[in-house]
Amino acid sequence: MSAKTFISLLAFCYFTKSLTGAYTKSTITQIERRFEIPSSTAGIINSGFEMGNLLVITVVSYFGAKFHRAKIIGAGVLLMGTGTLIMALPHFIMGRYKYNTDAALTNDADNFTVSSTCSFDTKNTVQQLVSGCLKEQAESSPMWVIVPFGNILRGIGEASIGPLGMSFIDDYAHPENSAFYIGCLNTLGVTGPFFGYLLGSLCANLYVDIGLVNQESVTITPQDSRWVGAWWLGYVVSGLLTLPAALPLWFLPRALPESPQTSTLDHPSNQHKDTLSITEIAKDFGPSLKRLLTSVDYLLYLAYSVLAFNAFAIVVTYTPKYLEQQFGQSASKTNFLIGVTSVPGVALGVFLSGWIVKRFKLSLLGSARLMFLCFVTSLVCSMPFFALSCKNTDVAGVTVPYQSHDLLTSCNAHCGCPNFQWDPVCGQNGMTYISPCHAGCNSTQGAGQNMTFRSCKCIQSWGLTSGNSSAVLGQCSRESNCTKMFYIYLALQSLVFFVYSLGTVPLLLISLRIVDPALKSLSVGIFMLALRVFGGIPAPIFFGALIDSTCLKWGQKKCGGSGACRIYDIETFRYLFLGLICSFKAFSNILLWILVTKIKRNVHSDKEMSKDTELQHPGICDPKQENTPM
């Protein structure tokens, strides 16, 4: 069997894992709303993958390289598929979603479909609040912890794919083909997010309890901040797709006879490794780790990568949420457009990255320079993002005052509206009110999504006649140019991702080529470990907490306590999101410039040593030149 066959199988594993990863990012807002949790808690769910990866990545990358790597990768893929299916489990345990829990109102035993007006019976509201609270405690409160548990299993399973897969390719492929193969592998893997976001778009547009409720009774739309799509469905699909990918890997041989390197790796003198005990192998782990962590070049590379990965983790985790909030788009539309605009640019960039390294036969220094150029250019291209913005929706009492009054004012003071309520309506004055009650509406007309609220005193206070004082369900639309800004942002983001991706293959190759060949698997393992500990785990959590700090109106659970955020201060959100990402990129590029300078000095030093050796011993080549990284 050739290296190409192994790469094809490994590429499918990359596809399924990246599909699930992208789908997970696309469901962040859906999960927040379904479990009524803040963004910081959703960040913990997202970081579960990194936590699981962290538990085993170093051990797998070191010990796995000493045994049958293909079988170990297969076992990891099997665990990935199982963890993905577990992530969908809460949906089948919990009861149906009650999207109007903030108002705690119902005329139905199964759902909350009637919004309160100024004349609503508040005594009945309190009684239903108590009964709803008891039911909520019984069915849903702790269920969200199952999702990160499944994600942790995904992370444990994935730990073998990167380090063992890349080192396997680099060991058994021809040296001139290694970069190209890794580029192709990552290009095929990048197609996974394309389908992941498309799957996320489809599921987000389907109501969470699809098939179990009458869709006509659902009074909210995908644009509503309480809408929850069928978030669980994508995990079932991707989990079932992942499981079969594990089987073929169990039937692959231990070695691939393609490269001259194979003769060295599989020489009889090295075959005794098959019979070494784990204890004997472990004895060399400490010295190997010490050699790795005393390399200045490698430490600089790690420091750069950690800072850059913090920015990357924030981008991939919260970009869908940022676009939804900043431009007032639905999760379905956002995920679809991210998939069709950004992912192809990334795939093309990764492919061209590997092609450029092979076509121009870039050395270690050339690869580092290409990476630096691409990453700096992508940072410069990101600057216009700050100018692409929309204004917050005008929400009475939240983002704008009630004619210079607070949340409760003369037009609705007698209505007894609960402050925790969130059932927004759009008045004919262009103002959004957090409920028909807060708009002072006294009657209703129609049913379902076509319901209209009449005689709204707070709308009349704007000088409108009683005939023009109605409101409809949902928030008012953003300004007309907001959608245009959204499309410009997506186009520019696609360009930024493309330019950044041109440096990805050099980024991976450097981790393999700045260390001793015997330490390749360990270097990738430590590299991924550092990214998880200092980037992948903390970044989504601490930035989720920063997002929470911009919340202007929290949802409320029936039993008390905050739920998911309903509306954010999007200007503060924008400066936090873009500012933090650009800061991480700027500081990481400074470290990358230092690393490039250091590699350049090492190359010049090696050339000087080579000249001295030739002068002293004509005709004898410097052995270092024979092992000069590509």
Q: What tens digit of pLDDT does each residue of 107-121 get?
A: 343 443 445 777 655
Local confidence band at 132 (pLDDT 50, 70, 90 cut-offs):
low
For residue 106, is pLDDT > 50? no
For residue 311, is pLDDT > 90? yes
| pLDDT (0 to 100) of residue 629 | 42
Segment 286-294 shows an average pLDDT of 85
Please indicate whether residue 489 or residue 107 has the higher confidence score (pLDDT). Answer: 489
Q: Which of 174, 244, 205 is nearest to 15 (CA)?
A: 244
Q: How many residues appear in the chain? A: 630
Percent of the chain with pLDDT over 90: 28
SS3 434: coil
| pLDDT (0 to 100) of residue 585 | 95
| pLDDT (0 to 100) of residue 111 | 42
DSSP-derived letter for residue 621 is P
| pLDDT (0 to 100) of residue 60 | 73
Tokens matching residue 268:
């009889």
Alpha carbon distance 243, 240 (integer Å):
6
Local confidence band at 2 (pLDDT 50, 70, 90 cut-offs):
low
Alpha carbon distance 296, 594 (integer Å):
11
pLDDT digits (tens, 9 = 90+) for 20-55: 999 999 998 899 888 888 898 888 898 888 888 888
Q: Which of 197, 198, 204, 165 is nearest to 73 (CA)?
A: 165
Alpha carbon distance 270, 456 (integer Å):
84
| pLDDT (0 to 100) of residue 309 | 92
For residue 129, is pLDDT > 70? no
Percent of the chain with pLDDT over 70: 77
Alpha carbon distance 197, 194 (integer Å):
6
| pLDDT (0 to 100) of residue 489 | 95
Local confidence band at 549 (pLDDT 50, 70, 90 cut-offs):
very high
Please indicate whether residue 198 or residue 559 has the higher confidence score (pLDDT). Answer: 198
| pLDDT (0 to 100) of residue 255 | 63
Segment 538-543 shows an average pLDDT of 92
Q: Is 270 exposed, middle or buried (0-12, 13-18, 19+ CB in 10 A)?
A: exposed
| pLDDT (0 to 100) of residue 606 | 74
Residues 374 and 503: beta-carbon distance below 8 Å: yes
| pLDDT (0 to 100) of residue 623 | 45
pLDDT digits (tens, 9 = 90+) for 556-602: 776 666 778 888 999 999 999 999 999 999 999 999 999 999 988 88
Half-sphere exposure for 139 (CA within 13 Å, toward CB):
16
| pLDDT (0 to 100) of residue 475 | 85
Q: Determine how many CB atoms are found less than 10 A away from the CB of residue 66.
A: 16
Cα angle: 274, vertex 276, 282; to 5 degrees: 125
pLDDT digits (tens, 9 = 90+) for 448-472: 677 888 888 888 776 655 566 888 8
| pLDDT (0 to 100) of residue 382 | 94
Alpha carbon distance 331, 319 (integer Å):
11
Residues 62 and 288: beta-carbon distance below 8 Å: yes
Kindly write down the DSSP assignment for every residue of 247-287, as one continuous string.
TGGGGS-S--TTSHHHHHHT-GGGGGGGG--HHHHHTTHHH
pLDDT digits (tens, 9 = 90+) for 585-596: 999 999 999 999
SS3 345: helix
Residue that is written with structure tokens 């785990």 in the block = 537
Segment 220-245 shows an average pLDDT of 89
| pLDDT (0 to 100) of residue 175 | 60
Whole-number average pLDDT of the chain: 79
| pLDDT (0 to 100) of residue 266 | 47
Least confident of 334-348, 528-542, 599-613: 599-613
Cα angle: 528, vertex 533, 536; to 5 degrees: 75
For residue 256, is pLDDT > 70? no
Q: Is 47 exposed, middle or buried (0-12, 13-18, 19+ CB in 10 A)?
A: buried
Local confidence band at 236 (pLDDT 50, 70, 90 cut-offs):
very high
For residue 134, is pLDDT > 60? no
